[in-house]
Structure 1
């Protein structure tokens, strides 16, 4: 068999439909990885999510870090200084391959992003209605309890500050400040009418 006939059979012979579909999927998948929006057309028409997305980086990567600070109100009514919660630990070499301990850091980042988006739309009161806000409150409450104990603290307030990471030229910006929150959550019996 001549090489030209063998090449022709690859595209017209038995099983050629499967090869055409496979080649089309390969080209579509490769094109869909390109960051330009014109290449997303194939994925937009993909009703069954057959075209994978193997992009290694986000289209709009985060360029800022969130820092979480809190201050407490003691039983005498005195307010403490702001304290930062250390979320970002120094990285180790093995974490390039397995970094499961970063999941809480990422979860708090995502929760904070949801709260900030809602606060921009409707203010602090609107953000307080979110379940993600309650999660962040409980995270701060647990941190205060671990660092200072619960008996001497009446309440706490937290703030979310945006920093540019390693860029020291950019000043940190306060994005969100919560109202004071009671340290001890009221029990259902305390809320019941007498």
Structure 2
């Protein structure tokens, strides 16, 4: 078992780490897993939000919309709580892709990712007892670049916490 794992890692090393003549082409049964992605993710995405009690009122400070996943002892085997943070990341990724590919703001605002993030932030505001308006911002950060690596991707327009029918 150990030998199989070592040979698999050896076979999947990047080409620049292992000369071609050292490859093991005579082991076709080894899985072609990619432990070392050619373009690993180097950006972190964050969703921040802020609120105010009404038009003309000052905005609160930006708060991180972190949906914490409480780890449990059996999380390595069964971890359904990881779906919510993953869904938030996927929504932010969709909006980021649209915004960076030159999509108009109206197109971005009509996307599923934007709508779902807006609904998620609205739910958080309602649970906190906030009224009035809120905004959210998707921020990308490259940890290795420090403050220079922080870039806002999208800032939403002012959105109502409670609609007229809910007041």
Give the TM-score taking structure 1 as reference length.
Answer: 0.57
Higher percent of residues as helix? 1
Structure 1: give runs of 5+ residues left out of the alignment.
1-32, 37-51, 188-194
Alpha carbons of structure 1 residues 177 and 104: separation in structure 2 relative to 1, 3 Å: same
Secondary structure at the aligned position of 1:95 is classed as coil
Secondary structure at the aligned position of 1:170 is classed as helix
Alpha carbons of structure 1 residues 60 and 132: separation in structure 2 relative to 1, 3 Å: same
Partner residue, 1:108: 88
Higher relative contact order (CA 8 A, sep 6+): 2
* C-alpha distance in structure 1 between counterparts of 2:124 and 2:152, whole Å: 20
| Structure 1 residues 159-193: Cα deviation after superposition (integer angstroms, max 9, x where no partner) | 0112345x5x5123222111111112455xxxxxx
Quote how far apart the aligned CAs of 1:116 are. Answer: 1.4
Contact 1:87 1:105 in 2 (8 A): yes
Alpha carbons of structure 1 residues 97 and 60: separation in structure 2 relative to 1, 3 Å: farther
| Structure 1 residues 87-117: Cα deviation after superposition (integer angstroms, max 9, x where no partner) | 3557566434433211111111111111111
Larger Rg: 1
Partner residue, 1:72: 51
Contact 1:111 1:132 in 2 (8 A): yes
What is the aligned length? 137
Structure 2: give runs of 5+ residues left out of the alignment.
1-11, 16-30
Quote the RMSD (CA, aligned, Å).
Answer: 3.2
